[in-house]
Amino acid sequence: MNNSTKIKIDDLKIFGYHGCFNEEKEKGQYFHIDLEVILKNNLYDDDLSSTLDYVQLCKYVETIFIQKKYNLLERLASVMCDKIIEKFDLKGIILKIRKNKNSYMPDIDAFSVEVKKIK
């Protein structure tokens, strides 16, 4: 049996300046982040120190997200995955970044990228 403990964060909303177009870099927009982290150890007790504090995880995600402007969400998601795995010593992560419709995508409700990294 392959047991694993996962923590999921759905729809973390962060304002950023990522994208290939000048308007995206200058005006910015909201991005929505979903992530699923796989802990190295299963949780067997009821103590916060035994697991990953998801509040700290969200704060760290926001810190990485606003540190640097990226043209490609694919690259941003990959960098974020690497940094989150390293910081929290995780077994793996699945991270999705979504941006809603804008003037460059009038017929699309949203655009997203997903990166999965497992050690």
Residues spanned by the domain of 12: 6-41+52-107
Per-position pLDDT tens, the chain of length 119: 467 889 999 999 999 999 988 888 899 999 999 999 999 877 667 777 778 899 999 999 999 999 999 999 999 999 999 999 999 999 999 999 999 877 677 788 888 999 999 98
Q: Is 119 inside a domain boundary?
A: no
- The answer to whether the beta carbons of residues 91 and 4 sit under 8 Å apart is yes
**116 lies in some domain:** no
Q: Domain containing 61 — which CATH number?
A: 3.30.1130.10
Of 45, 66, 55, residue with least CA distance to 88: 55
DSSP code string of 42-61: ---SS-GGGS--HHHHHHHH
The answer to whether residue 102 is domain-embedded is yes
* 77 found inside a domain: yes
Report pTM: 0.89
Per the domain annotation, does 63 fall within a domain?
yes
Domain count, the chain: 1
